[in-house]
Each structure stands twice: as structure tokens, then as C-alpha cells.
Amino acid sequence: MKRMLLFLTLAATMMACTKDDDQDAEIASLTEQLNQLKTDLAGLTAQLSTLNSSNSALEAEVDALTATVSALQTSNATLTTDTTTMGATIAALSDQITALAIEIAALKGVPYAAPTAPTAAADMVMSIFSDSYTNVAGTQFNPNWGQSTVVTTEDYDGNDVMKYASLNYQGTEFAAALDVSTYSVLHVDYFTSDATALDFFLISSGPVEVAKALPVTSKGQWNSIDIPLSSFSPVVLSDLIQFKVVGNGTVYFDNIYFKKAAVVANPLAGTWKITPEAGSLAVGPAKGSGEWWSIDAAGVTTRACYYDDQYVFGTDGSFSNVMGDQTWVEGWQGGGDACGTPVAPHNGATATYTYDATAGTLVINGAGAYIGLAKAYNGGELAAGTAVPSSITYEVTVVDASNLTVHVNIGTGYWNYKLTKE
Ligand SMILES: [Ca+2]
Ligand SMILES: [Ca+2]
């Protein structure tokens, strides 16, 4: 029994020893882990500290750069202001230099610059001496006519100006006779600060010569003159052989050319039709009124044979009604107020027209020629057997490139027509 107790005690002691050993191992392991974590934490803390330092350095750099940018912006603003101020100063100085150069030129009695370039279209010009056009070839600007005049060409920034010094007289000879009969004026730019007389001659074969005086009252500046060629009569404009200038002092010339008259456009020239819309034919007591009757859209369709009728105005003043095979033929003409064959004399008679834009009148000359309706004339409407007038005057209230509105006074009121150009 005693041995048994001893054994149990020993066993219990041994079990207790084993349990203590496990706990110690676990504690050691945990302690090791704790130490590792402490080590890791220390490492991370060190890294964080390093990163914080880097961040501070970067922030400092950003601050420095921002300050630099701000300083540069301020400098730039200052420079911009300086540049503007300097630009204004340079412009002012440049103006002063120009003003002084003009004064010096005026004191010397010479042009400061070539005259303003002409603006006439090249196809309207026959040029003798100009930088703005192609000049007639082969002109002799200084033939020996025994004159004392000294002729030179002065260069103003690449722009030639012809100078007559010690002028008594000076000729110009064309290589071949010029035909300027289709031109309307002689253009001359001239400058003098001392001439008291200046006559410009056109000369045709014979010789036939006529002078026109160029005014010399505006001294020390370029003068521009357009002399009507008709004023040189009886010089033969289709056979111009020479110019001659007679005068005194020193005179500069430029832009000597013949210019055609501007062509006045004839807005009527072309082919017109009554506008295919409601209201394009209307009659009433007043000009433009449709109070008594006005074509409606259905009427335009019904009268297709009429709305294709053409009113042809030639550039030569000719006029014709071109109706094709059919037009609207009314009862008084022997028709049935329906499409039918045009009835003489309202079937395309030969006619002419005259248009007075100022008065706003358009006259169609020729019995049977008309605009709009054949029956409407000045003072009434035609009926069967009525004499057909030899002309009709229409009043024009609208005329442009594509629209024409005309009215004819029939005494009691007006027929009004709207037309469109093809
Ligand atoms: Ca020139
Ligand atoms: Ca027709």
C-alpha cells in the first residue's frame, strides 16, 4: 500500500513537470513573436520618419517653386507692361520721324511718297505710266524735241514717279498710235511746288493737238485729275500719237492712264416670267392693290400656259413676248378665258423698251407688246375692236437681280404684276 502511494505521487509529479514545460515553450514562442513585432514596428517607425522627412522636403520644394512661379509671373506682367509702353513710344517716335520727313520733303518742294495707288479695275484702263497697271509697251518718255526739260524717274520705295525739272515743254511718243475712242477720261496724278502753268496736250496725227490746263493751285501735294476725253475735241481719239506738257518749274507725274466709264448695269436685261404665286396678277383702285381681283394659287395652276410666257429684255433695248404655243386667251380676244393659241397682235410683236430708273418708268414700244395682261394699257382695258396702243408705260416699284414689280394705270385703278427673272 505504501509503495502504491509512492508511485501515484511520483506519477503526479511527473505529469506536473510536463505541463510546466509546455507553457514555458509557448511563452518563449510568444515572447519571440513579440520581439519580432517590436523589431518590425521599430523598422516601420523608422520608415515613416524617413517618409515624413521626404514629404517635408518635397513640400518645401513645392513652396519654393510656387514662389518662383509667382515671381516669374510678376516679372512677366512687368515686361508686358514695359513692352506695351515701349511699343507706344516706338510708334510715337515713328510718327514724329514720318512727320519730320514730310516737313523736310515739303521744304525741299519734292513729294514725300508716290501718290495713292489708283483703284480703277485693270480691264477699264489703258495705262501709259503707272505701277498699278501693265503699261502700253515702247513709249518714248523723253524724245528730243529741243526742250530744256530734264526728265528722270524717281524711285519711291519701288514705286516710280516721273520728274520734269526745268520744264518748258516735254513730249511723249507712243510706239504706235493708240485708239482710246472707247475710253472716257484721261487720268493724271501730278505734283508741283513751284509751277505757275501746266498744260497737258493730247495729239493725234496731223498733228491735231488740244491742251487742257492742270490746276496748279494746290502746291506741295499730289493732285489727281480725270479729264473727259470729249474735251480734247477735235483730237482724233482713235489715232493718238503723242502727249505734250507745256509749263514751268518742276513737276512730278504718275498714274497717267485712260479710263473707261463705269458700265451702268441694266437690271432689266434678261428673261422674266410672271411669278407663279398667288397675288402675282392683281387689280385694284390703288397701285399695288388687289382689292378688285387677285390671282389665287389655283388660278396659277389653271393658267400654266400663261405662267411660262417669257418677257425678254435685250441689252440692246429690244423687247419681246415669247409665249410658246399657248397662253391665256381672254374673251375680248375671241378666246374662252382659257389656254389657247396667242392672238395677234398680242402674239410676240417686235418691240423695244426704255427704262428710266430715276423716274421709275418702263415704256414698252410696239403695238401688241406688253407686260402682264395684254388688255391693260394706260387709260383702260382693251375690248374687242379697240385700237391697240403703240406703247404702254409701266411704273416700276421693285427691280433687282431677280424681282420686278410693275404697275399700269388703267385710269380707274392699277393692274399690278410681279415678275421673276430666270
Ligand atoms: Ca508710280
Ligand atoms: Ca405660254
Distance of CA 116 from the midpoint of ligand 1 (Å)? 9
Distance of CA 162 from the midpoint of ligand 1 (Å)? 8
Whole-model pTM: value is 0.55
Q: Which of 198, 208, 267, 269 is nearest to 236 (CA)?
A: 208
Distance of CA 257 from the midpoint of ligand 1 (Å)? 12
Task: Please state, as a whole number, how many other Cβ atoms lie within 10 Å of the Cβ of residue 401.
Answer: 8
Distance of CA 340 from the midpoint of ligand 2 (Å)? 9
Which residue in this structure is represented by grid cell 488740244? 210
Three-state secondary-structure class, residue 86: helix
Instruction: Report every protein residue that has its C-beta within 5 angstroms of ion ligand 2.
Output: 305, 308-309, 323-324, 327
Distance of CA 255 from the midpoint of ligand 1 (Å)? 6
Work out the burial of residue 30: count CB atoms within 10 Å of its CB; fewer than 13 is exposed, 13-18 middle, 19 or more buried. exposed
User: What is the structure's pLDDT at 263?
Assistant: 72
Distance of CA 306 from the midpoint of ligand 2 (Å)? 5
User: What is the structure's pLDDT at 349?
Assistant: 80
Distance of CA 95 from the midpoint of ligand 1 (Å)? 24
Distance of CA 114 from the midpoint of ligand 1 (Å)? 6
Distance of CA 139 from the midpoint of ligand 1 (Å)? 15
Contacts of 162 (CB under 8 A, 6+ apart): 129, 141, 151, 152, 153, 154, 252, 253, 254
Work out the burial of residue 387: count CB atoms within 10 Å of its CB; fewer than 13 is exposed, 13-18 middle, 19 or more buried. exposed
Distance of CA 335 from the midpoint of ligand 2 (Å)? 15
- Which ligand is closest to the CA of 118, given by its number? 1
Distance of CA 2 from the midpoint of ligand 1 (Å)? 151
* One pLDDT digit (tens) per residue for the chain, 422 residues: 555 666 566 555 555 556 788 899 999 999 999 999 999 999 999 999 999 999 999 999 999 999 999 999 999 999 999 999 999 999 999 999 999 998 899 899 999 999 999 999 999 999 999 999 999 999 999 999 999 999 999 999 999 999 999 999 999 999 999 999 999 999 999 999 999 999 999 999 999 999 999 999 999 999 999 999 999 999 999 999 999 999 999 999 999 999 998 777 788 999 999 999 999 999 999 999 999 999 999 999 999 999 999 999 998 899 999 999 999 999 999 999 999 999 999 999 889 999 998 899 999 999 999 999 999 999 999 999 889 999 999 999 988 889 999 999 999 999 999 999 99
List the Cα angle 113/119/120 in 5-degree steps: 135
Contacts of 350 (CB under 8 A, 6+ apart): 318, 320, 366, 369
Q: CA 91 to CA 66: how far, in whole Å? A: 37
Q: Which helix (H) or strand (E) holds 418?
A: strand 414-421
Which residue in this structure is represented by grid cell 414698252? 364
- Which ligand is closest to the CA of 252, given by its number? 1
| Residues 192/250, Cβ–Cβ less than 8 Å | yes
Distance of CA 188 from the midpoint of ligand 1 (Å)? 11
Query: What are the cell numbers at 291?
Result: 382689292
Buried b (16+ CB within 10 A) or exposed e, 65-82: eeeeeeeeeeeeeeeeee
- Which ligand is closest to the CA of 327, given by its number? 2
Average pLDDT of the residues of the chain: 94
User: What is the structure's pLDDT at 130?
Assistant: 98
Helices (H), 188-317: 297-302, 304-307
Q: Which helix (H) or strand (E) holds 398?
A: strand 391-399
- Which ligand is closest to the CA of 153, given by its number? 1
